[in-house]
Amino acid sequence: MVLNKNEFLNVIQSLSDEDIAVLKYFLKYRSVGEILVSRDLRSMGIKNPSKILAKLTSLGLIKRGIGCFTISREILEAYREGKIKL
């Protein structure tokens, strides 16, 4: 599912605290390898990184590349423009 900028706010409001923590991680580290992100999220106390990464990917908040995850351009732009707060 791909969301437009106006829909991101509604989706973000429905996310759990762990989901928000992962999004904040990706705002800081825009693109991260699969192994590293899984290890980093576990060290942050995220119990099931794979499940959260799959959820955020299905919502279009992050994108999965070859061996990496990247925050979506739409989320990054909305955050920079102040349309969403985390």
List domains and CATH numbers for the chain: 5-80 (1.10.10.10)
* pLDDT at position 73 over 80: yes
Summarised one tens digit per residue, pLDDT across range 8-52 is 677 888 899 999 999 999 999 999 999 999 999 999 999 999 999
Q: Which amino acid is at 32?
A: V
* pTM of this structure: 0.86
DSSP letters spanning 10-30: HHHHT--HHHHHHHHHHHHSS
Q: Note the pLDDT of residue 71.
A: 95
Give exposure, 32-69, as e/b (b: 16+ Cβ within 10 Å): bebeebbebbeeeebeebeebbebbeebbbbbeeeeeb
* Structure token digits, residue 84: 């969403």
